[in-house]
């Protein structure tokens, strides 16, 4: 198909109840305002929109992620659409799967969608993270939703299409990054986490697979396991845990453990042990430390964050640089100091984002990748 091409698509069998009409037929997803069938765009072209789903990019736990083109109403032809060159990614989650797996995993697609919508709404008011990282608005590094649609079969979460692939693929392709290149990505990742923290959100599944590249930008995706960080307000009479208290300097409290979740490589020891409540900030920072280690060395520091893993013991006892020398992998002293500060077993001793920003390594030069 080519840009400007006419696509004929009419949805006769809309399954959406209530307000608008939605239908997926021949890979064309049409959203119109309430109309009588057939649901073309002619009665109210203003709110009609359609997407042409043209390929699946990845299987997702509850369905799949597809790439689609936006379609616009074809002038003077009510049952036709015109192909634009605007891409979107659509995460299509099967209702049947959501019902069947409900409660079995920590990953919750409904929570994911509401978190993305919540973050989208707060983004438009103030995009800055709390510690004001040097690279500007952290919201630029968190993927937002364009819209969320639903019919009897699927929930469709429409997002900007991030065409550079997973950051994981970039590390795999290059083997590892130079420290300057790693610094470029790490600053953005930190800004993204900082933004989430400033909005009281703990991601819980930070990994190189959940960081998408778009040109020289990286964005955090996959909010399926995120949780709200409970805050205790300082001002008496203010309801506990409201988002407002985050910005007002409320004291954050611990999150109750559920099932340990996330990928074992990136999981913090307290989540892996799963014996008590945990600090939502510290778990995402831990994962960021593992991400940085992998970017610089090309390999994960250990397999599981447990005393059963000898490499974990070495790293958490401060022997990471020795271990790397044994592996004949070079890492600067500054990077070593930073990663050791992050990969501390005790979350209370683990460096916080502000300390990370102030570290020596973060002050170094960056190598911005060309458009890819
Ligand atoms: N906005 C997007 N643009 C491009 N690809 C995406 C986008 N969102 C997700 N993907 C791809 O789909 C994969 C699965 O999506 P994700 O939200 O991580 O689902 P899961 O919960 O199944 O891991 C991602 O790792 C990425 O490769
Ligand atoms: Mg994922």
The answer to whether 259 and 225 are in contact (CB under 8 A) is no
The alpha carbon of 29 and the centre of ligand 1 are apart by a number of angstroms equal to: 19
Supply the pLDDT for residue 154.
87
The alpha carbon of 222 and the centre of ligand 1 are apart by a number of angstroms equal to: 7
In the three-class reduction of DSSP (H, G, I as helix; E, B as strand; rest coil), residue 39 is classed as: strand
What is the CATH T-level fold of the domain 167-363, as seen in this structure?
Answer: Transferase(Phosphotransferase); domain 1 (1.10.510)
Ligand found nearest the CA of 225: 1
Number of helices and strands (H, E) in the chain? 11, 14
* Minimum-distance ligand 1 atom for the alpha carbon of 62: 22
Ion ligand 2 residues within 5 Å by Cβ: 210, 222
**Could you give the CA distance from residue 252 to residue 255 in angstroms, rounded to a whole number?**
9
Supply the pLDDT for residue 317.
97
**Could you give the CA distance from residue 161 to residue 53 in angstroms, rounded to a whole number?**
12
The alpha carbon of 168 and the centre of ligand 1 are apart by a number of angstroms equal to: 12
The alpha carbon of 90 and the centre of ligand 2 are apart by a number of angstroms equal to: 14
Pairing verdict, β 217-220 and 211-214: antiparallel
Dihedrals φ, ψ of 200, to 5°? 75, 30
The alpha carbon of 200 and the centre of ligand 1 are apart by a number of angstroms equal to: 23
Per the prediction, the chain carries an average pLDDT of: 83
The answer to whether 315 and 302 are in contact (CB under 8 A) is yes
Cα 259 vs. chain centroid, distance in angstroms? 20
| Given 205, 222, 279, 284, the catalytic residue | 205
Give yes or no for residue 62 CB within 6 A of ligand 1. no
**Could you give the CA distance from residue 177 to residue 154 in angstroms, rounded to a whole number?**
39
- Tell me the pTM: 0.86
How far CA 209 is from CA of 198, 219, 220, in Å, comes to: 23, 11, 9
Give yes or no for residue 339 CB within 6 A of ligand 1. no
Ligand found nearest the CA of 158: 1
Supply the pLDDT for residue 250.
57
Cα 210 vs. chain centroid, distance in angstroms? 6
Supply the pLDDT for residue 155.
87
Supply the pLDDT for residue 124.
54
Give yes or no for residue 218 CB within 6 A of ligand 1. no
Neighbours of 241 (CB within 10 A): 17
In the three-class reduction of DSSP (H, G, I as helix; E, B as strand; rest coil), residue 352 is classed as: coil
Ligand found nearest the CA of 224: 1
Supply the pLDDT for residue 130.
45
Residue range(s) occupied by CATH 1.10.510.10 in the chain:
167-363
* Minimum-distance ligand 1 atom for the alpha carbon of 159: 1
Does the active-site annotation cover 205? yes
Which protein residue's CA is at the shortest distance from atom 4 of ligand 1? 162
The alpha carbon of 58 and the centre of ligand 1 are apart by a number of angstroms equal to: 7
Dihedrals φ, ψ of 278, to 5°? -130, 160
Supply the pLDDT for residue 88.
95
Which protein residue's CA is at the shortest distance from atom 22 of ligand 1? 60
The answer to whether 338 and 312 are in contact (CB under 8 A) is no
* Minimum-distance ligand 1 atom for the alpha carbon of 65: 12
Which protein residue's CA is at the shortest distance from atom 23 of ligand 1? 60
Burial 158-195 (b: 16+ CB within 10 A, else e): bbbbbebebbbebbeeeebbebebbbbbbbbbbbbbbb
Burial zone of 204 (CB within 10 Å; 0-12 exposed, 13-18 middle, 19+ buried): buried
List the chain residues with pLDDT less than 70.
Answer: 1, 8-23, 31-48, 123-136, 231-251, 259-261, 371-372
**Segment 5-64, tens digit of pLDDT:** 777 665 544 444 434 455 677 777 776 555 445 455 555 544 567 888 989 999 988 899
Neighbours of 44 (CB within 10 A): 13
The answer to whether 90 and 53 are in contact (CB under 8 A) is yes
């Amino acid at each position: 198909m080519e840009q400007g091409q006419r696509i004929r698509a009419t949805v006769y069998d809309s399954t959406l109840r209530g307000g608008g009409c939605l239908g997926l037929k021949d890979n064309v997803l049409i959203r119109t305002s309430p109309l009588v069938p057939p649901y073309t765009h002619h009665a109210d072209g203003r709110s009609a929109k359609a997407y042409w789903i043209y390929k699946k990019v990845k299987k997702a736990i509850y369905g799949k992620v597809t790439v689609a083109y936006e379609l616009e109403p074809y002038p003077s032809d009510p049952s036709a659409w015109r192909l634009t060159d605007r891409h979107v990614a659509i995460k299509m989650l099967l209702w049947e799967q959501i019902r069947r797996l409900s409660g079995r995993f920590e990953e919750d697609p409904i929570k994911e969608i509401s978190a993305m919508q919540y973050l989208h709404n707060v983004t438009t008011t103030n995009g800055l993270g709390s510690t004001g990282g040097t690279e500007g608005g952290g919201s630029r590094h968190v993927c937002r939703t364009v819209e969320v649609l639903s019919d009897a079969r699927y929930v469709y979460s429409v997002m900007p299409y991030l065409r550079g692939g997973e950051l994981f693929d970039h590390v795999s392709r290059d083997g590892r990054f130079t420290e300057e290149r790693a610094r470029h990505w790490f600053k953005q990742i930190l800004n993204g986490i900082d933004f989430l923290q400033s909005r009281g959100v703990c991601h819980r599944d930070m990994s190189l697979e959940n960081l998408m590249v778009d040109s020289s930008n990286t964005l955090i995706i996959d909010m399926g396991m995120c949780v709200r960080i409970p805050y205790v307000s300082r001002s008496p009479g203010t309801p506990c845990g409201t988002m407002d208290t985050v910005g007002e300097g409320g004291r954050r409290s611990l999150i109750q453990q559920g099932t340990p979740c996330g990928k074992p490589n990136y999981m913090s020891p307290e989540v892996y042990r799963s014996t008590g409540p945990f600090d939502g900030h510290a778990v995402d920072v831990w994962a960021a430390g593992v991400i940085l280690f992998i970017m610089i060395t090309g390999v994960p520091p250990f397999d599981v964050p447990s005393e059963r893993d000898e490499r974990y013991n070495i790293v958490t006892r401060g022997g990471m640089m020795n271990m790397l020398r044994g592996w004949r992998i070079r890492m600067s002293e500054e990077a070593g100091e930073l990663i050791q500060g992050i990969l501390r077993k005790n979350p209370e001793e683990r460096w916080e984002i502000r300390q990370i920003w102030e570290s020596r390594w973060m002050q170094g030069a960056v190598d911005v990748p060309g458009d890819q």
